[in-house]
Homo-oligomer: A and B are copies of this chain.
Amino acid sequence: VAVAPLPEQREVLSGLLSQMCTAAGEALRLATAALVNEQERLALRVQASDAEIDALRARVEEIAFESMALHAPVAGDLRAIVAAIRCAGDIERMGDLAKHVAATAARQARGTLVPSTAREVLVEMARLGCAMAAKAAEVARTRNVILAIELDSDDDAMDRLLRDVFAMLLDPAWDHGIGAAVEVTLLARYYERFADHAVSVAKEVVYTVTGKPPESLAL
């Protein structure tokens, strides 16, 4: 069996990670659409499609192990390959979180869980989360350090949205009861965690390229 040279394997890994990020972002976008438009079939489709992200992760690990076993990489190459395994873990988790949103959407379609007043901020969180997944995809593919730094400020924006959600729930004007508050709390947390993992992916890549975390880079 011909073994691909190391640089080629690294390119394949970058491509797969980028593809995983794109798929996770798309899953989050569709899960949120299913949530706000009460589309049960779409929600079920998103849940099922998570298996594709899991399969991509398995492929990343397979190539990474093959690469380590056959090329015995050192230094930067070794770091990049271990980083790929870690990034794949983060992105798989992004897919899981999108799946959690889809699961809520599927239940929601059989009886409203998320009041319309809460949907606007959740849609905003989803929009930001998708944009972050797209940036992480780009960072994985091109090792663009500036985009990675942007992700840090996107994450601050996500944290502000999370605080907005809590403020909305604690406002005396919230008249949708405890059940809806619990659902919205969990959903908001899913979006916020999704964003955290997108940031982690970008950090791993930048660390591999520069040997430094993105926030320490003066540009």
Q: Which interface class (under 10, 10 to 19, 20 to 34, 35 or more) fits A?
A: 20 to 34
Query: Interface with B: A126-134, A140-148, A173-181, which one?
Result: A173-181
Q: How far is the CB of A194 from chain B (nearest CB, A)?
A: 14
Contact among B65, B68, B178 with A174 in the assembled complex (CB-CB below 8 Å): B178
Q: Mark A83-116, 1 if CB is under 8 A from B, else 0.
A: 0011001000000000000000000000000000
Query: Interface with B: A27-35, A37-45, A74-82, which one?
Result: A74-82
Residue positions of A touching B, CB distance < 8 A: 65, 68-69, 72, 74-75, 78-79, 82, 85-86, 89, 166, 169-170, 174, 178-179, 181-182, 185-186, 189
In the complex, the answer to whether A170 meets B189 with C-beta atoms within 8 Å is no
Q: How far is the CB of A55 from chain B (nearest CB, A)?
A: 16
> A81–B130 Cα gap in the complex (Å)?
33
Q: Which B residue sits closest to A171, measured CB to CB? A: B178
Q: How far is the CB of A200 from chain B (nearest CB, A)?
A: 10
In the complex, the answer to whether A169 meets B182 with C-beta atoms within 8 Å is yes
Per DSSP, are chain A's interface residues mostly helix, strand or loop, or mixed? helix
Q: Which B residue sits closest to A77, measured CB to CB? A: B69
What residues of B have a CB within 8 angstroms of the CB of A169 in the complex?
178-179, 182
Contact among B78, B82, B85, B185 with A185 in the assembled complex (CB-CB below 8 Å): B185
Contact among B72, B82, B170, B179 with A182 in the assembled complex (CB-CB below 8 Å): B170
Q: How far is the CB of A58 from chain B (nearest CB, A)?
A: 13
> A112–B82 Cα gap in the complex (Å)?
44
Other A-B pairs beyond A65-B78, A68-B78, A185-B185, 19, CB < 8 Å: A65-B79, A68-B68, A68-B82, A69-B78, A72-B72, A82-B82, A82-B85, A85-B85, A86-B86, A169-B179, A169-B182, A170-B178, A170-B182, A178-B178, A181-B181, A181-B185, A185-B186, A186-B189, A189-B189
Q: How far is the CB of A66 from chain B (nearest CB, A)?
A: 10
In the complex, the answer to whether B189 meets A179 with C-beta atoms within 8 Å is no
> A178–B167 Cα gap in the complex (Å)?
11
What residues of B have a CB within 8 angstroms of the CB of A174 in the complex?
178
